[in-house]
Amino acid sequence: MANIKSQMKRNRQNETRRVRNKAVRSELNTRTRRAVEAAEAGDPDLELFTKAAIRRIDSAVAKGVLHKNTGARKKSRLVKQLAIITNG
pLDDT for 30: 97
CATH number of the domain within which 57 lies? 1.20.58.110
Number of domains in the chain: 1
Residue 50 near residue 10 (C-beta atoms within 8 A): no
pLDDT tens string, the chain, 88 residues long: the values are: 789 999 999 999 999 999 999 999 999 999 999 999 999 999 899 999 999 999 999 999 999 999 999 999 999 999 999 999 998 7
Full residue range of the structural domain in which residue 73 is found: 5-87
Q: What is the pTM of this model?
A: 0.86
Q: Cα separations (Å) of 18 from 15, 47, 61, 85?
A: 5, 31, 15, 34
pLDDT for 61: 97
